[in-house]
């Protein structure tokens, strides 16, 4: 059955590959949680609001999709370096910093994230800005000090993360979303790539760098991340459609009603068709990169096997 013909509840893009056994994912996720806790563990003399805000932003919530991608892709590439969990944590800390900045009143002005009040609501805007800077700093420090990684590899990891954060990545994407997105399909795609795709891209790039993968494999992984990023953004846009319950989505909804999104530009039916195409492309590129190795494919199937409420039939 083709992807287009499937019911909306199950896109089934990775046919024949069962969802990742929960125990394996749970073990990896717990390793990430424990290591994040280690890096954000305050000593008795520094149990202040800034540290509390950093911990609230990064711990105890979220699917950990990006750090899990780092670890799963690297494992599928034959790498089991102990440094992988720290590389994964660095990516997650950048993600956490980007979310709390996105939610600020001068940005998206969000009040709810992952079912909880946003960080600026809990701790104030001043503390939130400082927490974001501190999380970014900690991420780069983790990479720079990563053990079991050759100095040249560490330098590549740091450089790649810097590209992701800066004017070639997240910062530029947020700026375009606020000031530069004129609402054309090309503008929307560019903004989505920079706001969503780059963090998926850096996750697979980090895995490829640590695993010292061939250039062709790394290129296929980046193509996978780009397609998956577009799919995630479209899914997010559908979740934002008015009528979805914040208690289900875990964050504010209806915020994009007057923003330049693909749904607003082309309509829900065409957006649904493109979501399916992006998922198909993601599967194809991941197969090109990893062949028959199934760990990452099962994980991605678990993420996309069911389209969330709000995607039209």
- Confidence band for 84, pLDDT divided at 50, 70 and 90: very high
| pLDDT given at position 235 | 86
Higher pLDDT, 10 or 36: 36
> What pLDDT is stored for residue 167 in this prediction?
86
**Model pLDDT, residue 46:** 65
Token readout for 238 is 């559908």
Query: pLDDT at position 181, please?
Result: 64
β-strands 116-117, 112-113 pairing: antiparallel
177: which 2 tokens? 């979303």
| Lookup: tokens for 229 | 């990023």
Residue 215 buriedness (CB in 10 A; 0-12 / 13-18 / 19+): exposed
Taking 60 as the threshold, does the pLDDT of residue 125 lie above it? yes
pTM: 0.84
Judge whether 35 and 85 are in contact, CB under 8 Å: yes
What pLDDT, in 10s, does the model give residues 136-177? 999 999 999 998 899 999 999 999 999 999 888 999 988 888
What domains appear along the chain, each with residue ranges and CATH number?
A: 22-304 (1.10.600.10)
pLDDT class of 309 with cuts at 50, 70, 90: very low
Q: What is the rounded average pLDDT for all residues in the chain?
A: 84
C-alpha dist (Å) from residue 147 to 39, 152, 241:
14, 13, 45
- DSSP letter at 104 equals S
- CA dist., res. 57 & res. 247, Å (int): 19
| Radius of gyration from C-alpha coordinates of the chain | 19
């Amino acid at each position: 059955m083709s992807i287009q013909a499937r019911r909306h509840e199950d896109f089934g893009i990775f046919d024949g590959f069962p969802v990742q056994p929960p125990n394996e994912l749970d073990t990896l996720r717990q390793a990430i949680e424990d290591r994040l806790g280690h890096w954000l563990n305050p000593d008795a003399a520094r149990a202040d609001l800034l540290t509390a805000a950093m911990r609230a932003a990064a711990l105890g919530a979220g699917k950990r999709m990006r750090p899990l991608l780092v670890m799963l892709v690297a494992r599928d590439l034959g790498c089991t370096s102990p440094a992988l969990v720290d590389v994964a944590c660095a990516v997650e800390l950048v993600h956490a910093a980007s979310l709390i900045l996105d939610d600020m009143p001068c940005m998206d002005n969000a009040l709810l994230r992952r079912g909880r009040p946003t960080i600026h609501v809990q701790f104030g805007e001043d503390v939130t800005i400082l927490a974001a800077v501190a999380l970014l700093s900690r991420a780069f420090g983790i990479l720079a000090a990563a053990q079991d990684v050759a100095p040249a590899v560490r330098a590549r990891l740091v450089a790649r993360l810097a590209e992701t954060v800066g004017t070639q990545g997240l910062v530029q994407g947020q700026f375009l979303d606020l000031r530069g997105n004129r609402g054309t399909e090309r503008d929307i795609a560019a903004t989505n790539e920079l706001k969503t795709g780059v963090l998926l891209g850096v996750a697979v790039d980090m895995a490829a760098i640590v695993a010292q993968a061939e250039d062709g494999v790394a290129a296929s992984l980046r193509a996978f991340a780009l397609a998956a990023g577009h799919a995630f953004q479209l899914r997010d846009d559908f979740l934002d459609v008015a009528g979805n319950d914040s208690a289900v989505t875990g964050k504010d909804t209806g915020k994009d009603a007057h923003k330049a999104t693909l749904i607003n530009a082309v309509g829900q039916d065409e957006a649904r068709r493109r979501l399916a195409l992006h998922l198909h492309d993601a599967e194809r590129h991941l197969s090109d990169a990893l062949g028959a190795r199934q760990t990452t494919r099962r994980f991605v199937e678990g993420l996309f096997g069911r389209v969330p409420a709000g995607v039209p039939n």
